[in-house]
Amino acid sequence: MGISAFDALIAADQKIEQKDWMPDGYRASLIRQIAQHAHSEIMGMQPEAAWISRAPSLARKAVLIAKVQDEAGHGLYLYAVAETLGARREDLLDALHEGRQKYLSFINYPTLTWADVGALAWLTDGAAVVNQVSLCRTSFGPYARALVRICREESFHHRQGFDLLHTLSRGTPEQRQSLQEAVDRWWQPALAMFGPPDSKSTHSAASMAWRIKRASNDELRQRFVDLCVPQAKALGVRLPDPALRWNAERGHHDFTPPDYDELMRVVAGHGPRNRQRLAHRRRAHEEGAWVREAAAAHAAKHAAAPGTAAQHASAQEDAAEWPLWEVFVRPRRGVSHVHAGSLQAPDATVAMHSARDLYTRREEGVSLWVVPSRSMAASDPEHKDAYFEPAAGKPYRHASFYPPPEGVEGL
């Protein structure tokens, strides 16, 4: 397989898979985008996690924990996708911690009140849904599949945020005021999530040609604004844009685009909370090092089972890095285990615990297999023709090749 086969697959709107040949630029673009997406998921936990301890009802507390947990899960699905492209999670995290790779700018704003928790979810998860629903049709198979799972969960995030705000909108005058103020704070950062305008976007053209991206920044931003306007009405809040109005000619709302200079400043590290968010993330990673090292050391001591950290230690430069495992879930009794995704674990016991938490927390399964990724053998895409095409010329293997004579039954 080479460039012509790759181009043919893209042109036919087929998926590119892990072992397929792909241009270096395609691989690099994907890794850049997926890493930034994964970083945004895990960095995005912080503004909301800050409110778990103070959630004003136990029901809301549970919802918020579940949501923040999902974002960690999204990060995991996405880092696993990056691994299929040959990018190690540890290297991507280093790039995040050292500021070499970016995450979405809205995360660098503070959540000042409980209403911010709702506004953040309604607007930024809402923007993420618009963005990611479009991305579900991305040309890279593992990314597309992860996005399908993520989108299902994001719509829960979006809905619960709206529900939280809707409750405030029917509450006390103070609650209604905090609702309006929070929406005022989050509108611009949410609009900025779609990135720079198409005319200034540096990576968009190539990503569109390769069908990594399926819609432009400005198209998606417009779609988002059109969706928000009636929802804002239902909440009884004013969206903070005097220029916002329906344009019958275009069939869309006109609106003031976000301030791109501010977006660029915040992405470059000069937003209100960049410093604290990154420092928090780095600290958690550093303070966790002894735990990761301990588990790897324990696995090395008890390295009887295949796939333990020790077996792979030689191949890994970082002693604390855990090997990758593939997870298979039996959705219900009577059907086969299906590949769900992957995760990192020092050994089979921890892999099984994590698989249960990560891939079955919404009742997706009744049985689990975990297999060290390195123990999996896969057919080579180079051999696709030799392996699978010969099966095509043998229609006599199928019952349909033998039409029964008129009137004969039971065949």
Partner 1 sequence: MTSLFDYLLGLGDDALVAAQRTAEWCARAPQLEEEVALANVALDQLGQARAFLGYAGELEGAGRDEDALAFLRDEAGFRNAQLVELPNGDFGTTVAKTLFLAAYQKLLFSRLARTAEPRLAGIAAKAAKESAFHVSYASAWTIRLGDGTPLSHRRMRDAVEEVWPYTHELFEPWTAPEAGLDPATLREPWLRVVEKVLGEATLSRPQDGWAATGGRHGRHTEWLGPLLAEMQSVHRAHAGARW
- Which is nearer to partner 1, 105 or 354 (by Cβ)? 354
Quick check: 57 binds partner 1 (CB under 8 A)?
A: yes
Find, among 101, 46, 70, the residue nearest to 284 by Cα.
46
- The two beta strands, 367-372 and 324-330, are antiparallel
Inter-residue contact 253 to 243 (CB < 8 Å)? no
- Which is nearer to partner 1, 142 or 346 (by Cβ)? 346
Q: Which of residues 154-193 bind partner 1 (CB under 8 A)?
A: 167, 170-172, 174-175
Quick check: 126 binds partner 1 (CB under 8 A)?
A: no
Residue 177 contact, options Fe ion, partner 1, none, Cβ 5-8 Å cut-off depending on partner type: none
The piece of 41-49, 79-87, 353-361, 383-391 that touches Fe ion (CB under 5 A) is 41-49
51: left (phi over 0), alpha (psi -120 to 50) or beta: alpha
Q: x/- contact string, 278-317, with partner 1 (CB under 8 A)?
A: --x--xx--xxxxxxxxx-xx--x----------------
Residue 62 contact, options Fe ion, partner 1, none, Cβ 5-8 Å cut-off depending on partner type: partner 1
| First-residue to last-residue Cα distance in the chain | 43
Inter-residue contact 119 to 177 (CB < 8 Å)? no
- Radius of gyration for the alpha carbons in the chain, expressed in angstroms and rounded: 24
Q: How far apart are CA 159 and CA 154, in angstroms?
A: 9
The piece of 34-42, 194-202, 213-221, 259-267 that touches Fe ion (CB under 5 A) is 34-42
Q: How far apart are CA 314 and CA 252, in angstroms?
A: 58
Find, among 362, 364, 370, the residue nearest to 346 by Cα.
370
Half-sphere exposure of 149 (CA within 13 A, CB side): 23
Instruction: Provide the minimum distance between the beta carbon of 329 and Fe ion in the complex, in angstroms, as a whole number.
Output: 20
Question: What DSSP state is assigned to residue 124?
Answer: I
Q: How far is CA 196 from its chain centroid? A: 20
Query: Which listed residue (341, 346, 365, 372) binds partner 1 by CB under 8 A?
Result: 346
Number of C-beta neighbours around residue 279 at 10 A: 12
Q: How far apart are CA 296 and CA 179, in angstroms?
A: 47
Residue 125 contact, options partner 1, Fe ion, none, Cβ 5-8 Å cut-off depending on partner type: Fe ion
Query: Which listed residue (6, 106, 109, 114) binds partner 1 by CB under 8 A?
Result: 114
Instruction: Provide the minimum distance between the beta carbon of 347 and partner 1 in the complex, in angstroms, as a whole number.
Output: 8
Query: Which listed residue (89, 157, 221, 253) binds Fe ion by CB under 5 A?
Result: 157
Residue ranges that bind Fe ion, judged by CB under 5 A: 41, 71, 74, 125, 154, 157
Residue ranges that bind partner 1, judged by CB under 8 A: 42, 45-46, 49, 52-62, 65-66, 68-69, 72-73, 75-76, 79, 114, 167, 170-172, 174-175, 280, 283-284, 287-295, 297-298, 301, 322, 343-346, 349-350, 353-354, 356-358, 361
